[in-house]
Amino acid sequence: MDKLTKIKVAGIPKGFQELSFVTDGVTLNYAVGPDNGLPLLLIPGQMESWQGYKCVLPELSKRFHIFVPDLRGHGKSTQTPGHYSYNICGNDLKCFIERIIQRPVLVAGLSSGAVLAIWLAANVPECVLAIISEDPPLFSSIWPRIRDEKFMYRNFKVAVDTLGGEGERNPEKYLSQMGAPVEGKSELLMIPGFIVKIIGSLFRLTRILRPNSPYDAPFLPFNMRVGCKFLSEYDTDFSRATIDGSLSKDFDPEETLKRVKCPMLLLWAHATRHETWGILGALDESDLQRIIPLVDDFRYIDIPGAHEIHMVQPQRYIDEVIKFVDHLSEEHKLSRLSELRSN
């Protein structure tokens, strides 16, 4: 049994608390760690709650004061169907920084959370020291391009169709419709039905035997177990907003990037393209090349593999975050930025 299999979805890491914050009638649930250094705001991606960062929280909390909110529509935070956009979620986080963290902060996020990290750097520069953007779908998920990215569009549409509606959700139905593009073929390679049934049986048995940790099914890797939790609780209207353009309404990626004046690190999972299904991932080579000239203090690290780097390659994620912050400290950028933000 490897280290990631042993990490539990249930429970709160040692030294952390789970609290809540209310802004404009919306309650944001969040986890906060011990004050061991600079504040670090971690922003989960779409379908992800704060538990997605459990693989990296213990180690990062030795160096930073960690804050991890559930975005509206996720985890224990308020669901607001019809009211999901980068501008709305960005303003939630702005209020969170100003009222809860109350000092300039390092910001890191995954996927849509990575886009929100960029939003904060551009729109609340006085609150942000530096950003770490983990595989942001910065152009691919933006309307109208997302209509043509068939694989990405389909994945969000499957979530809306199989997980939306009334009654208890059935993640098995969702998994049964998931597949992967194969080079040279137009049909997706679907997850075999017997595997879906085995996974479903493990979760059903776990709910009976371990009601206090219903997602910690045996033998399954952490990202699969925690992913089942996310599928069971998030508001699928967030995904609907992604594919109908509501999420990216009044959000211009290039104009936003031009206003990022703090240091930016991009962790790139290196998406490829399929002749039928379009982008396989979040950010391809041409997208990356669009970003490079727009941000003055920009660097990127190529980390091929899964989109959710902090879940499947947690040690690599930790190493890159610490290396980036140490580099900024050596160049005295963090101290200068802290002084500027405080004045």
Question: 266: helix, coil or strand?
Answer: strand
Which ranges of the chain does DSSP label H, i.e. alpha helix? Answer: 3-6, 57-60, 86-96, 112-123, 150-163, 171-176, 193-209, 222-233, 237-244, 253-258, 285-291, 309-312, 314-330, 333-342
Contact 310, 91 (CB under 8 A): no
How much is the pLDDT for 340?
62
Positions of the chain with pLDDT under 70: 1-2, 336-343
* Token duo for residue 97: 């920084």
**Measured between alpha carbons, how far apart are the two ends of the chain, in Å?**
51
How much is the pLDDT for 178?
96
* Token duo for residue 141: 């998920």
Domain boundary assignment for the chain: 3-147+246-342
Q: What is the pTM of this model?
A: 0.97
pLDDT in tens, 242-265: 999 999 999 999 999 999 999 999
* Token duo for residue 163: 């997980």
Q: How far is CA 294 from CA 60, 256, 258, in A?
A: 29, 9, 5
DSSP strand pairing (26-32 vs 17-23): antiparallel
How much is the pLDDT for 336?
64
Contact 13, 33 (CB under 8 A): yes
Q: How far is CA 178 from CA 57, 193, 223, 240, 342, in A?
A: 30, 11, 16, 17, 48
How much is the pLDDT for 5?
74
How much is the pLDDT for 1?
43
User: Cα separation of 152 and 149, whole Å?
Assistant: 6
Question: What is the CATH topology of the domain spanning 3-147+246-342?
Answer: Rossmann fold (3.40.50)
How much is the pLDDT for 270?
93
